[in-house]
Amino acid sequence: MTANEAPVIEIRDLHKSYGQLEVLKGVSLSAHRGEVISLIGSSGSGKSTLLRCCNLLEDSQQGEVLFKGEAVRWRGHGLGRHPADRAQVIRIRTNLSMVFQQFNLWAHMTILQNVMEAPVTVLRRDRHEVEEAARGYLAKVGIGDKCDAYPAQLSGGQQQRAAIARALCMEPTALLFDEPTSALDPELEQEVVKVIKALAEEGRTMLIVTHDMRLAADVSDHVVFLHRGLIEEEGAPDTLFGNPRTERLRQFLSATA
């Protein structure tokens, strides 16, 4: 990280409501290149909404999100309808690639096709080069032998690793994970955790929403505790987990222990 480089993701005073419900009440945080930030907090505290605002799955009412200094925003006439907006949406979603709790693989495509689909059809990259890269990423996450299988033929842990390979195949600047292990049985959770740890060791920029405090403690440079739409406490994992300052964080940690 160079001193003057703009953060990969910068969130400034973000406010987001659904109707009368104010979900984010002024959240600011930034992720520099190579940084891993974990977002923790109770269900309903706004973690998913925050991630979704970063890559334009949601708009916000106030504040801003910047990708490498570029303001990420809907421009008032509907997401992606205007060609300039659509180009930005593609650029942002490509660069901030998301992995969801429920994998979201396409059931009618093989694993290899799932990984190749967006780079070929959205980014219009060369099919042969994408295939080679896709096979490489599937091998990297330990399922190189599953290229021709369909999602339903894979375990949950294998499906989530395929979803991670799919995100990697976009060659993103950063990865956004929304509870990547929450839908998995404990024994399958670890194979996904292992992949995420390996990505952290490679120095990838990642924003990880997780209920797995051990994962957050192991991989993060910085942990953010969200409570009812506000950052209640944040800091280095050792400090945050070892010496929580606020009663709310203490309660949250004892409830999840």
Give whichever of 44 and 78 is closer to ligand ADP, judged by the CB atom. Answer: 44
Tell me which residues in 115-154 interact with ligand ADP (CB under 6 A).
Answer: none
Of 23, 54, 147, 175, the residue at the interface with ligand ADP (CB under 6 A) is 23
- The angle subtended at Cα 57 by Cα 231 and Cα 46, nearest 5°, is 25
CA distance 126 to 86: 21
Which residues, other chains included, contact 66 with Cβ-Cβ below 8 Å and sequence gap of 6+?
A: 6, 7, 9, 10, 11, 12, 72
158 touches, from Mg ion, ligand ADP, none (C-beta below 5 to 8 Å by class): none
Output the smallest distance, CB 149 to Mg ion, in A.
29
Output the smallest distance, CB 178 to Mg ion, in A.
6
Residues interacting with Mg ion, by CB under 5 A? 48
Q: Are 115 and 138 in contact (CB under 8 A)?
A: yes
Which residues, other chains included, contact 228 with Cβ-Cβ below 8 Å and sequence gap of 6+?
A: 25, 45, 46
Of 9, 27, 36, 49, the residue at the interface with ligand ADP (CB under 6 A) is 49
* CA nearest to 220, candidates 38, 29, 7, 31: 38
Can residue 43 be called a binding residue for ligand ADP (CB under 6 A)?
yes
45 touches, from ligand ADP, Mg ion, none (C-beta below 5 to 8 Å by class): ligand ADP
Output the smallest distance, CB 51 to Mg ion, in A.
8
Q: Are 55 and 98 in contact (CB under 8 A)?
A: yes
Give whichever of 48 and 110 is closer to Mg ion, judged by the CB atom. Answer: 48
Give whichever of 188 and 209 is closer to Mg ion, judged by the CB atom. Answer: 209
